[in-house]
Structure 1
Amino acid sequence: MSTKRHILIADDDMNVIAGLSFLLQDEGYEVSCVTTAQAALEKVKVQSFDCALLDMNFAKDTTSGQEGIALITELRQLDSLLPIVMMTGWATIELAVDAMRSGAQDFVQKPWDNERLLHTLQTHITLAQSQGLNERLKQQNQLLQQAAHPQLRSDIVACSQPMQQLLTQLEQLAQSDMSILLTGDNGTGKSMLAAYVHRCSARAEQPFVTANMGAIVENLFESEMFGHVRGAFTDAKAARAGRFEMARHGTLFLDEIANIPLSQQAKLLSVLEERKFEAVGSSQSQVADVRVISATNGDLPAQIQAGTFRQDLYYRLNTVELRVPSLRERVEDITPLTEHFLRQFAAKYNKPVPQLSEAAQVALRHYDWPGNIRELRHVLERALFVCRAAQITPDDLAITAGDGVVANVDDPNLTLDEIEQAVLRQRLRHHQGNASETARSLGLSRSGYYRRLAKFGLAEHE
């Protein structure tokens, strides 16, 4: 596994190529050599380099430097961050200016001075690394920023007393840097509330970065969270910033925190305690200047008891622990949420905003919403398309008020998950929550039965 800096040399003089190769290899560089401008372009298309050292003139022309200018322009289109140093034996001020305007970083005249050439290469490689890291940070942060998250309380639908109380607590906590653990069922809006805390905090102008701990492959955990340097492992062809570095001075939201593999929990704990981390393959420590908010729908105390979650990490994460209420605990919010989502989807699909019939409002308020706000969104998005009038009826919602059973499993608009959930609810009710009988009637093993209960957030008393 090589961590050498890789230099591309393009020159039509084999003596120049040999001299440069010997010099650079003795200094620990890896070298690739070509003799034409076209070959240089082909190399850059399929391989990354730390710097390109290019002749200004090739076989077509020996003095004007136009081949070199054209090569710089084409290389810039392939790699905007590649440092380019030009070389020629026919140097003029005008040619040097043209090369720099075209995108070269520097200009060296032949015959070269070894020390000056080495210093020039090292300087531009170091600058490119810094610029490249900043550019990657900017791009990754743009991808990870949650632009749709509300910035003001008025942007959050929260008329119910439990939600008003929760928002007040979060606004107070936002003024500190304390770690917050948000618990509650799936689909209750924990990520939205984490972003709201960030927007209310002194770190509001800094990045808000999300890491879904359940989606990170175990053997890539350190690279994803702490980053890696080029060459740190087989596929590390370029340096990468981890989530802690991307969130510097801002907020890091660790979603699905209960899913961190036990083998990686100690590493996360160490960073949270020491406030320092090292990228994979680097010995240089970086300060972890982030505010950490985490969330889970799991039972962390039970996992601690079972030995699958570290107690010391739990205490480090939950300086303050707040539970986000389920939708069935905030019934007053259902109608305003429904109106909010219908307006949102109508604008998205360029359709008129339908009205809710009184019966539909009753059905929505009496449904138990196992999928919480996420399920409500899906129900309303579907209803917007299936309703045949300017008003949404209970049939359009495909739910039954009072028991939370999907009304008609033959509805062609239902997904496979919705049909499976409906059948599971019906069998649970028919067998009065008897796990063995319900599993047997569905042809499921006990483990398969409980996996489906967990998948849909159902209880055996459904």
Structure 2
Amino acid sequence: MKNRKILIADDDLNIIASLKYMLSEENFDILAMTTPEAVLENLKRESFDLVLLDMNFQQDTTSGVEGLKLVEAIQQVDDQLPIIVMTGWATIDIAVDAMRAGAKDFIQKPWNNERLITAINTQIKIAKIDKKLQRLSQENKLLSAQSFPQESGIIAQSPVMKTLLSSLNELAKSDMSILLTGDNGTGKSMLASYVHQHSSRANNSFVPVNMGAIPESLFESEMFGHLKGAFTDAKENRIGRFEMAEQGTLFLDELANIPMAQQAKLLRVLEEQKFEVVGSSKSQHADVRIISATNSDLPKAITEQQFRQDLFYRLNTIQLRVPSLKERVEDIAPLAEHFLQLYSVKYNISAPQLSIEAINKLQQYPWPGNIRELSHLMEKILFTCKKATITGRDLLLDEGLGAQSSSGKLINAATIDDASLSMEDIEKFSLINRLKHYRGNATETAKSLGLSRSAFYRRLSKYGLD
């Protein structure tokens, strides 16, 4: 565990020497300043766990006014940094004023060593808890907005999946970066979470980020956080994804969708393990394990100068391909039964059984949408099949199946000219079929439709296809 860092502010060199000696014995790193200006300058450049400051900086001043102004100024720089004030002219009024200004505790000179150390340890601990609670609150908001399925459990009866899980179990013991490739809907996000859960970082956060859904203008704010007032809409401090994932795992999904201009910023963080919150010049350490995923051909994107080669090598310590569902025939039936049971509990509906005919049909279907498509099908079947046993006919698994209209009609190539279809029905059908054509590759699909990344993802979200 790294030493905790304290900034001491006092104009008395003897006091500074005494505090340095005592606190160094307690494994604190100490930096001391003798003027308010020097204190503020260092706070803008470096991170500290606590500030211990005198209330007076001139020999003939005992009012505490200087100290109060400095407490307020520190709050402007970092309102989460704990402050303990000290003075040899202790009065209740000064103590109350200091606490109102933002100080967390008040120590009178000459101090009691044990009391001072306890106060410092307590305030540092409280600050860490507060920061963790804030991080968890923002992380919960983030996770609640995620659109990918959150079903737990990985089914692996097929040889190809058993081999993949065996590799992931070994890699989980390390801290190396992992790049997962494969078609959309194959469960890359779940496998990334699986690695995290089986790693030494399991007690800390797993933070997934859909890189394709982050507007380029908000990239730094989303990834590194921002301070209140850093830009027009920054009405409060925001913790970025790197800080959320501190000592945990950051999962970068849709990796190929990171704009070139932002790839350099991400590369710098990965190389130096440091980043700056937007609006701050202080560097923060990034102790984060990176797992990333893509369904794109990154070597091709590098050749076309759409992806940085140095970033690719930084993320590609080891690369594993996640097989498509049609390559894991042995897993299709147990996965379908798993989803039926899962949605049965969710909706409090009795789950029907799959017939042999239905299982055979599921195993013969090509599954262009992979596991996500199977999950959605089982959820729909739970409501459309009113029998105890699901037959092959109940599945409606025609390869030419397109989409369901808002009125419940089936839309495919044969019915697309139906005059009762709305523009939204036709657009949804077109999105589904174009996605199938490009095997779930979001970048290629968006490009073929002449849509920007953000416009494409908005449409996916609108129709529940994301």
> Scaled by the length of structure 1, what TM-score is found?
0.64
Would the aligned equivalents of 1:133 and 1:240 in 2 still touch at CA under 8 Å?
no
After TM superposition, give the deviation of residue 116 of structure 1 in Å. 7.7
Which of 318, 321, 343 is 2:319 aligned to?
321
Q: Distance in 1 between matches of 2:291 and 2:414?
A: 35
Residue 453 in structure 1 maps to residue 437 in structure 2:
yes
Which of 73, 94, 97 is 1:117 aligned to?
97
SS in 1 for 2:306: coil
Distance 1:172 1:240, change over 3 A: same
After TM superposition, give the deviation of residue 149 of structure 1 in Å. 5.8
For structure 2, the residue ranges without an aligned partner over 5 or more in a row are: 1-64, 83-90, 106-122, 417-425, 445-466
Distance 1:119 1:423, change over 3 A: same
Distance 1:382 1:414, change over 3 A: farther
The 5 A counterparts of 1:417-456 are 419=411, 422-423=412-413, 453-454=437-438
Would the aligned equivalents of 2:256 and 2:298 in 1 still touch at CA under 8 Å?
yes
After TM superposition, give the deviation of residue 252 of structure 1 in Å. 0.6
Q: Distance in 2 between matches of 1:169 and 1:349?
A: 36
The residue identity in structure 2 corresponding to 1:306 is E
SS in 2 for 1:157: coil
After TM superposition, give the deviation of residue 309 of structure 1 in Å. 0.6
Would the aligned equivalents of 1:276 and 1:287 in 2 still touch at CA under 8 Å?
yes
The 5 A counterparts of 1:49-88 are none
SS in 1 for 2:243: helix
Match of 1:379 in 2: 377
The 5 A counterparts of 1:19-34 are none
Output one character per residue of 1:275-306: Cα deviation in whole Å (capped at 9) or x when no partner.
11111111221111011000011111111111
Distance 1:414 1:337, change over 3 A: farther
Residue 279 in structure 1 maps to residue 274 in structure 2:
no
Match of 2:296 in 1: 298
Match of 2:136 in 1: 138
Distance 1:143 1:424, change over 3 A: farther
Paired residues in the alignment total 339
Residue 260 in structure 1 maps to residue 258 in structure 2:
yes
The 5 A counterparts of 1:84-95 are none
Larger radius of gyration: 1
Would the aligned equivalents of 2:180 and 2:293 in 1 still touch at CA under 8 Å?
yes
Distance 1:229 1:351, change over 3 A: same
Which of 246, 256, 264 is 1:248 aligned to?
246
When the two chains are superposed, the root-mean-square deviation of aligned CA atoms in Å is 4.1
After TM superposition, give the deviation of residue 121 of structure 1 in Å. 1.3
Q: Distance in 2 between matches of 1:450 and 1:145?
A: 28
Would the aligned equivalents of 2:273 and 2:285 in 1 still touch at CA under 8 Å?
yes
Q: Higher RCO, 1 or 2 (CA under 8 Å, sep at least 6)? A: 2
Match of 1:361 in 2: 359
Which of 163, 170, 176 is 2:161 aligned to?
163
Distance 1:414 1:378, change over 3 A: farther
Match of 1:394 in 2: 392
Residue 352 in structure 1 maps to residue 350 in structure 2:
yes
Output one character per residue of 1:16-35: Cα deviation in whole Å (capped at 9) or x when no partner.
xxxxxx999987969xxxxx
After TM superposition, give the deviation of residue 453 of structure 1 in Å. 2.9
SS in 2 for 1:277: strand
The 5 A counterparts of 1:172-183 are 172-183=170-181
Match of 2:400 in 1: 405
Match of 2:228 in 1: 230
Would the aligned equivalents of 2:369 and 2:439 in 1 still touch at CA under 8 Å?
no
The residue identity in structure 1 corresponding to 2:370 is N
Q: Distance in 1 between matches of 2:150 and 2:405?
A: 35
The residue identity in structure 2 corresponding to 1:166 is L
Residue 308 in structure 1 maps to residue 334 in structure 2:
no
Q: 116-125 or 209-218: which moved more?
A: 116-125
Q: Distance in 2 between matches of 1:414 and 1:171?
A: 45
Would the aligned equivalents of 1:370 and 1:457 in 2 still touch at CA under 8 Å?
no
For structure 1, the residue ranges without an aligned partner over 5 or more in a row are: 1-21, 31-47, 52-80, 84-107, 427-441
